[in-house]
Amino acid sequence: MSNPVHKKSDFIERSILSALAFLKDATLSEEYANRKGLLQSLDPRFKTISFFAFLVTAVSLKNVVLIGTLYGLCLLLAFLSSIPVRHFLVRTLLFIPLFSLCIVLPTLFSIVTPGEAVWSFNILGISAVITRPGFDGALLFVVRIATSVSLVVLLSLTTRHSELLKVLRVFGVPPIFVLTVSMSYRYLYLFATMVENIFTAVKSRVGVVSHQRHGQNIVAWNIANTWNRTTQMSEEVYMAMLSRGYTGEPRLLSAFQATPKDWVWLLGAVIICASLFYRGYTL
């Protein structure tokens, strides 16, 4: 027989450890960013600007076919960048778009969105009517979100994270912010490992967490302990920075170099966005 208390504590542990595993995997792998492919060969600055343009286009368009065209482009780019399409679809569709679909489900029905009926049926003797504005609105919402998420994930998968963070300078973000973001990113993996080690240590000493209150205490102690260790670490990090020549003014190394290919790519992206905007305006 299953023990509900155990199940609850297992859930806390599993959710935290799986989140940590995802974080470690995402920060370390960069497997796709190191592959040879179309997007990987582009200068990160040009790639980020073009993807931002695609994103703004996807969010601004009001026609599902035009947004679907951008989604199709996204899949094509994933294929040309050596990303397995199945992996890409799972990564992009399973979370936010699926969740958004659940959110908009009630808006399909006449009780929430009145209008022309496109399909009516009975559930447990209750008549349900799906309306045209409800269906069109829900479809537009989900396709737009799926496209937006796909664009961001594609950019993130095909660019080394350190380079992607450095690109923030192109958008005029002050160096102190970029330095903080870059440093912070480096600590994520360390923190993930630290939290995981604490959980393993607690489990090896007290076995499973048997009570919800006990579980809360362990999580809180874990966070407090992480904070304490970070304050100690900050002193050491500062000394390490000083020993490497840090003078108080952040400097970022930039090794980006644009090629004609990057300019052609950017021009192509601008033409695609302008065409979609024009088509959306004339429809």
Partner 1 sequence: MHIPDGYLSPATCGVFGAVMIPIWTVASKAVKKTLSVKQVPYLAIGAAFSFVIMMFNVPIPGGSTGHAVGGVLVAVLIGPWAACIAVTVALVIQALLFGDGGITAIGANCFNMAFVLPFVGYYVYRLICSDSPAGSNRRVIAAGAGAYVGICVAALCTGVEFGLQPLLYHTANGQALYCPYSLNVAVPAMLVSHFLVFGWVEVIVTALVVKYLQKQDAVFFKGGRF
Cβ 254 to partner 1, closest distance in Å?
18
Q: Is 26 in the site for partner 1 (CB under 8 A)?
A: yes
β-strand partners of 122:
127
Cβ 260 to partner 1, closest distance in Å?
27
Cβ 136 to partner 1, closest distance in Å?
6
Map tokens 């874990």 to a residue.
Answer: 222
Query: Which residues 161-180 are close enough to bind partner 1 by CB under 8 A?
Result: 161, 164-165, 168, 174, 176-177, 179-180
Which listed range, 39-47, 69-77, 153-161, 270-278, lies at the site for partner 1 (CB under 8 A)? 153-161
* 66 vs 104, beta carbon nearer partner 1: 104
Which listed range, 14-22, 119-127, 253-261, 270-278, lies at the site for partner 1 (CB under 8 A)? 14-22
**What letter does residue 174 receive in the DSSP assignment?**
-
CB half-sphere exposure, 93, CA atoms < 13 A? 10
Options 145, 209, 269, 273; binder of partner 1; rule CB under 8 A:
145
Task: Classify residue 50 by burial, with Cβ atoms within 10 Å: 0-12, 13-18, 19+.
Answer: buried
- Cα–chain center distance at 91: 9
Query: Which residues 184-243 are close enough to bind partner 1 by CB under 8 A?
Result: 184-185, 187-188, 190-192, 195, 216-217, 219-221, 223-228, 230-231, 233-235, 237-238, 241
User: Both tokens of residue 279?
Assistant: 């088509």
- Cα–chain center distance at 50: 18
Query: Which residues 260-279 are close enough to bind partner 1 by CB under 8 A?
Result: none
Cβ 200 to partner 1, closest distance in Å?
16
Cβ 237 to partner 1, closest distance in Å?
4
Handedness of CA 160, 164, 170, 174 (dihedral sign): negative
Query: Which residues 98-117 are close enough to bind partner 1 by CB under 8 A?
Result: 99-100, 102-104, 107, 112-113, 115
Query: Which residues 69-88 are close enough to bind partner 1 by CB under 8 A?
Result: none
Q: Which H, E and C letters describe 188-256, residue by residue? A: HHHHHHHHHHHHHHHHHHHCCCCCHHHHHHHHHHHHHHHHHHHHHHHHHHHHHHHHCCCCCCCCCCCCC
